[in-house]
Amino acid sequence: MLWRRNRIFMWSFMVLTFDWVTKQIAVETLPYAEPQVVYPWLNWTLVYNSGAAFSFLASHAGWQRWFLSAVALIAIVFFYKWANRLQSTEKWQRFAIALIIGGALGNVIDRLRFAYVVDFIDVHVGAYHWPAFNIADSAICLGIMIILLSLWTSKTPKSS
């Protein structure tokens, strides 16, 4: 049990560290809101998101900072407890939960420190730009996809 918990902490810490380092690099090297072309479909574009995903709630007076932080902290506790209930064979789900926890922590730290989340990855097709995101967002999305895939492909006994 302790080893499983330590692995969750290890992966979460790795995500948190990678997220923090890349955000620091973005803040120190990128001009605000000026796209830096990397590939025809990818820019580095520093933006600050005071809302949730897709800037949801960003235009509100500031209460969303505390609300979104509280929701994220509750989610972190929920996922951590879920991870501790998983069987030793459910390695992918534990890994996915570690990604989600690390990503959520990365964004909560930003939100509590700055009242916004640092985003800088700008993926686009022609003139259509996906909302900017960061490593924490990517880890959360990947973790959710792994959990959904593992739940979808798990073998559940059929009831008679």
Is 119 a known active-site residue? yes
Place of tokens 């989600």: 100
Q: Are residues 150 and 90 in contact, defined by beta-carbon separation less than 8 angstroms?
A: yes
Residue pLDDT, tens place only, 87-126: 888 999 999 999 999 999 999 999 999 999 999 999 999 9
Residue 75, both tokens = 């989610």
For 30-48, what is each residue's pLDDT tens digit? 999 999 999 999 999 999 9
Active site residue 122: no
Cβ within 8 Å of residue 50, ≥6 positions away: 58, 62, 64, 65, 115, 116, 117
How far is the C-alpha of 97 from the C-alpha of 8, rounded, in Å? 8
Per-residue pLDDT of 54-75, as tens digits, reads: 554 545 456 677 887 889 999 9
33 vs 6 pLDDT, higher one? 33
Predicted confidence (pLDDT) at residue 154 exceeds the cutoff of 50: yes
Q: Which spans in 30-127 are helix H?
A: 63-85, 91-114
Mention every residue, 6+ apart, whose C-beta is less than 8 A from residue 135: 15, 18, 19, 22, 23, 103, 106, 121
pLDDT bracket for residue 50 (50, 70, 90):
confident
Q: What distance lies between CA 103 and its chain's CA centroid?
A: 3
Distance CA 69, CA 110 (A): 10
Residue 134's Cβ-count burial label (10 Å; 0-12, 13-18, 19+) is buried
% pLDDT > 90, the chain: 71
Catalytically annotated residue among 19, 110, 122, 137: 137
Please state the domain extents for the chain: 2-32+65-113+135-153
pLDDT in tens, 122-139: 999 999 999 999 999 999
